[in-house]
Amino acid sequence: MKTNDEKIDRRLLAGREYRGSSRIDGPLVYMRNTHPIGYGELVEIVAPDGSRRSGQVLDTSDEVVCVQVFEGTTGLTLPKTGMHFLGHPLTLSVSESMLGRVMNGLGKSRDGSPIAQGQFDRDVNGSPINPTARIYPRDFIQTGISVIDGMTTLIQGQKLPIFSGNGMSHNQLAAQIAKQAKVRGGDSDFAIVFAAMGVKYDVARFFIDSFEESGVIDNVALFLSLADDPSIERTITPRTALTLAEYLAFDLGKQVLVIMTDMTNYCESLREISTLRGEIPSRKGYPGYLYSNLAELYERSGKVRGSKGSITQLPILSMPNDDISHPIPDLTGYITEGQIVFDRGLHSRDLYPPINPLPSLSRLMKDGIGEGMTREDHPHLSNQLFASYSHVQDVRNLASVIGEEELTSIDKQYLKFGQFFENNFISQDFDEDRSIEDTLNIAWQALGYLPSEELQRLSEDEIDEYWQEMED
Amino acid sequence: MPTRIIGHVKRVNGPVITVCDITDAEMLELVRIGEQQLIGEVVKLFDGEATIQVYEDATGVKPGDNVYGSAMPLCVELGPGIIGSIYDGIQRPLEKLEEASGTFIARGLTFDGIDHKKLWHFVPSVKLGDSVSGGSVIAEVQESETIVHKILIEPTVGDGVITKIADEGDYNVDEIVATVSQEKSKDINVSMVQKWPIRNPRPVKKRLPFHAPLVTGLRVIDTLFPIAKGGTVAIPGGFGTGKTMTQHAIAQWCDADIIVYIGCGERGNEMTDVLREFPQLVDPKTGKSLMERTILIANTSNMPVSAREASIYTGITIAEYYRDMGYAVAIMADSTSRWAEALRELSGRMEEMPAEEGFPAYLATRIAEFYERAGLMETLCDKEGSVSVIGAVSPPGGDFSEPVTMHTKRFVRCFWGLDRSLASARHYPAISWTESYSEYLQDVKSWWNERSDDKWQSNRKEIMELLQKEERLQQIVKLVGADALPDSQNFILEVCSLFKNAFLQQNAFDKIDRYSIVEKQTKMLSCILTYWHKGLEAIEKGVPLVKLRRLRVVQDVAKIKFSISNDDVQEIDKLELKLERSIEKLGGIYED
């Protein structure tokens, strides 16, 4: 509890400007001989040319305070850098009027006109959601993309990242999901929060264009910290974006979809700061707290009691060198509720979306599909598709050794199934919006290439009702 | 609120705070920092300074803030009212936190671990003049529908006699219900609540040799890689291989009396899932709701990292307390890697010299200390109680050669390695039969043989050998195709594939399949082996494999897991007989 005196005190202290930093190192500025500064406090930095930047306290002691400057340290000098310590952590003034606007990573306007002051100032670091206050997410979101709806179903309130690689069509997929996603029979009070970290201008442009085209741009808040912006700003961008998302979802009751791209750039920036501070690195030079740090972002999703809103996260990350065991995708996979994995092989065959269903997974799928939610055959059907398509891979490996001619007849049927499955089920057009029934029916067509005895994961009733042998 | 100032904040670096002007801080003392009253623990003392790890977000803490001592280490409160609770890593009830601060957890809140106002119906089981000592049972309280809570004298108390005992009636946990008089020291007043420091194991009389398995209802575990009651097991697996699903399944169906489920640095929604699902599920042993025997500790990944480090100890201390009453307790720790990472993070912040991959050098010691708290024990009150630990490990990149998996393997005796390719084919539980092992086979051998006409050990051996052979044959198939193999070898592939699909694979969402009783497991295995023996005989007589495979009854065997429930397992015997006859009939046609 702060007393009134202390509040006044704090305000006076915030007016005090310290000049002359002792060390500037990358984005970090060190200041000696200050009054006691709180950990995580917001700092206003006055550059020699009079411009103002913001920063945050990373380490505080009675001797020296370490501040990271979000806008970068270019142009700062040791003697002429001024600092105000504001006595509170970095906050975002949240308001609904941020929808339809383009902002920088700190939530300041990028398009020239000012942003209306919101009603609440929220700490961008947020607080952990109490697990007992959560509602277990189970509302099926139809994305209109077969391989997602059918095999890695997206659920409202889920965090489902896209593991992609450089040059693959993850942006198209995210845009398509943003455009087509709907809860069947649900209300449509939705909003999209888009956070770009270190991506190129064209990528941001692509998203803006596609939001404009589909007419949702007025419901989108964009936080852009592009490739040429200071790398340090990227570490705060997703936090700002999620702070707004929490307000929209849990205060205003909207269904919020948060797209964050590219998480790899975010982690790189964290590594940069960590290295500069001389911290002990863990794998590949990333800081030991990368897991906790990512979790602080990803866990800010879900549904809570007492609000009809939800936050669904769709983070995009490019796997360095397509390596899924790289620390970034690896730690992400341990936190998120599944993953959508892109495959270079499918991509080079020009299939869109190039999603490999086998390593992809949706952990929340089990409770969101089936009778009353999608269709009663969905759980067993998706299980069967996984099993059969996984066997296709074995058969292909075998065929590459002994040749297709030498395969048993049943294995040849598997090859046909695989072919049909990839070309008709996985692959679809960028603007093709399939209903869940269409998706499941195409899956049954694919299974028609296999004899019914092979369909061990399906019940006899289901086979009787839906299965039909396919003619070549 | 503690008022004893033990020092002032000197430096704040995330969850690690350096404190100077130290007066009389104790090692591992529980402290409160600043006016926000954040909870912390002293982890290092040197030269008038102390290092404190903070259990809450340290934003706003500044140099010069007071640090208050509580003169005791981090403890848990033990007494009736624990069952059915959901706690954070330092035993604060999450429901109370929600009442106090809403959806998001605020900082600096303190709550008792158990409700001190609630009245419990106390039934004394000793009378005046009875001699007692630390760990003796003096009364019973019906804690939940299925659990009788035994009121124990604190283990540190020496021998004495009961000089006062409350009558049967309703009391809250603070009221004095008994007095123990000792010859040489003061009288000791006993209430229904006691405190125990989480980092110290609770004492027992002695360790006992293992004799019974912890039956989990999962066939691949019980039949192939059993764990003993009081044993330790590690479940390593990359993300998406089903660690959490396996842990959930064991927590739901295993035959322990009490389950402590520790969600350590994992997803918030998973804990919500347990909270939502467990009250609705029925314990096959008692017919009551599963929540009546479950305690949850949820320190999700976004909650403070120090409390994650503590959550494992909080959980095992509660487990030991129930063990001391004579219960079989099973702990699910999901995941111990997150706990190890919390150690690493804190160690890094304290600028300690790192060992492998940035983990502190004492990682192995800490892992060993934790797993050693498991065991089958003779308790101080002469009962048999056990704590079994089922620890998930999340190796980065699914690589089992990383430090946490390697060190864990040194201290556990059972290993259920999860396999990514099985998980990709949605073969769950994705427990690899080539990488996993159990050192408890000898301990539980006689228990199993008693329940399977002395066949379990030999059947298990036979099917394991078949799986080994299949592994080798698969190598050949990869080179030349299955057609090149003779029918007798192809039949091995066929039987193994049946075994994998019909036995090892288990659907956690199917009402019949999710849990198999011991009898069903032994009968199913015997049925599959009959197919192997009889089928091989038939093939030797010249029956083509295709004919054998097309037998209707073989399809029925493949579906036993879904079609025959635990209540009518004798149906499996009938099916086995039918299988035998059909194959013999088929063989008859081809003979001569």
- Taking each helix axis as running N to C, give the angle between helix B518-541 and helix B570-590, from 0 to 180 degrees, rounded to the nearest 10: 0
| pLDDT confidence band for A284 (50 / 70 / 90) | confident
Q: What is the DSSP string of A158-184?
A: -B--EEE-TTSTHHHHHHHHHHH-EET
pLDDT band at A186; cut points 50, 70, 90 = low
Task: Find the mean pLDDT for residues A288-305.
Answer: 92
Residue A161 has pLDDT above 80, yes or no: yes
Distance CA B437, CA B200 (A): 30
Q: Which of A247, A334, A396 to mutate to test the interface with B (most CBs of B within 10 A)?
A: A334
Residue B311 tokens, joined: 């959550």
- In the block, residue with structure tokens 């009364």: B139
Q: How many whole angstroms separate alpha carbon B277 and alpha carbon A68? A: 45
> In what helix (H) or strand (E) does residue B13 lie, and over which residues does it extend?
strand B4-13
- A141: which residues sit within 8 A by CB, 6+ positions away? A153, A154, A155, A156, A181, A182, A183, A312
The tokens of B500 are what? 């994998």
Give the pLDDT score at B1: 58
Place of tokens 């310590």: A85
CB contact under 8 A, B267 and A129: no
Burial class (CB in 10 A: 0-12, 13-18, 19+), B424: buried
For B58, the closest of A39, A291, A453 (CB atoms) is A39
Bigger pLDDT: A5 vs A144: A144
Q: How far is B544 from chain A (nearest CA, A)?
A: 16
Minimum Cα–Cα distance from A392: chain B residue: B425
Q: Coil, helix or strand for A440?
A: helix
CA–CA min distance A379, chain B (Å): 10
DSSP string, B412-472: -SEE--B-HHHHHTT-SS-B-TTT-EETTHHHHHHHHHHTTTT-HHHHHHHHHHHHHHHHH
The residues of chain B scoring below 50 in pLDDT are none
Cis check: omega of the bond before B403, within 30 degrees of 0: no
Residue A416, pLDDT above cutoff 90: yes
Within 13 Å and on the Cβ side, how many CA atoms surround A294? 32
Give me the total of CB pairs closer than 8 Å, taking one residue from chain A and one from chain B. 225
Query: Model confidence over A114-129: pLDDT tens digits?
Result: 888 888 999 998 899 9
Measured between alpha carbons, how far is B487 from B541 in angstroms, rounded to an integer? 12
CB contact residues (below 8 A), chain B span 322-381, against chain A: 338, 341-342, 344-345, 348, 351, 354, 357-358
Number of alpha carbons in the 13 Å side-chain half-sphere of residue B160: 26
The pLDDT of residue A1 is: 40
Determine contact, residues A299/B301, Cβ cutoff 8 Å. yes
Report the distance separating Cα B10 and Cα B25, nearest Å: 15
* Nearest CB neighbour to B348, from listed A283, A288, A408: A288
CA distance A359 to chain B (A): 6
Cβ(A310)–Cβ(B108) below 8 Å: no
Whole-angstrom Cα distance, residue A61 to residue A39? Answer: 9
**CB contact (8 A) between residue A302 and residue B35:** no
Report the predicted TM-score, pTM, of the whole model to 2 decimal places: 0.90
Interface of A with B in 365-424 (CB under 8 A): 366-367, 379, 383, 386-387, 390-391, 397-398, 401-402, 406-408
Tokens (6 digits) for B276: 């939502």
Q: Give the model's pLDDT for residue A3.
A: 46
Between the CA atoms of A314, A315, A321 and A327, what dihedral angle is there, to the nearest 10 degrees?
Answer: -120
Q: Could you tell me if B201 lies within 8 Å of chain A, comparing CB atoms?
A: no
Q: B240–A361: do the CB atoms touch at under 8 Å? A: yes
Q: Using CA coordinates, name the residue in chain B closest to A34.
A: B63
B 266-325 residues inside an 8 A Cβ radius of A: 267-269, 271-273, 275-276, 298, 300-305
Reference B233, options B366, B456, B393, B341; nearest CA is B393
Residue in A128, A279, A386 closest to B425 by CB: A386
For residue A2, is pLDDT > 50? Answer: no
Query: How far apart are alpha carbons A82 and B404 in whole angstroms?
Result: 46
Residue A206 has what pLDDT? Answer: 94
- The pLDDT of residue A472: 65
Read off the pLDDT of residues B10-44 as tens digits, 9 standing for 90 and up.
999 888 899 998 878 888 888 999 888 898 889 88
More confident residue, B298 or A187: B298
Q: Note whether B358 contacts A358, CB cutoff 8 Å.
A: no
A304 contacts in chain B (CB < 8 Å) = 103
**Phi, psi for residue A277 in degrees, rounded to 5:** -85, 0
A298, A432, B268, B271, B331 from A136: Cα distances, Å: 16, 30, 9, 9, 24
Nearest CA in chain B to A329: B397
Q: Across all residues in chain A, what is the average pLDDT?
A: 90
* E-strand stretches of B35-175: 38-46, 49-54, 66-73, 75-78, 86-87, 120-124, 131-132, 137-142, 148-152, 160-165, 169-171
Instruction: State the virtual CA torsion across A453, A458, A463, A466 in degrees, nearest 10.
Output: -130
Enter the tokens of residue B149.
Answer: 């809570």
Burial class (CB in 10 A: 0-12, 13-18, 19+), B309: buried
Write the single-letter amino acid at B350.
Answer: M
Rg over CA atoms, chain A: 25
Sheet containing B160-165: give its strands across: B131-132, B160-165, B178-181, B188-190
Place of tokens 């149906």: B571
Range name among A348-352, A417-421, A456-460, B577-581 with the lowest pLDDT average? A456-460
Q: Does A238 touch chain B (CB under 8 A)?
A: no
Distance from CA of B424 to the nearest CA of A (A): 5
Q: Does B497 touch chain A (CB under 8 A)?
A: no
Mean pLDDT of the A436-447 span: 95
Lowest mean pLDDT among A194-203, A377-386, B345-354, B498-507: B345-354
Chain A from 77 to 116: CB within 8 A of any B CB: 88-89
Q: Rounded to an integer, what is the distance from CA B36 to the centroid of its chain?
A: 35
Cβ proximity of A352 and A430 under 8 Å:
yes
B490 CB neighbours in chain A (<8 A) are none
Residues of chain B with C-beta less than 8 angstroms from the C-beta of A379:
509
Q: What is the pLDDT of residue B489?
A: 93
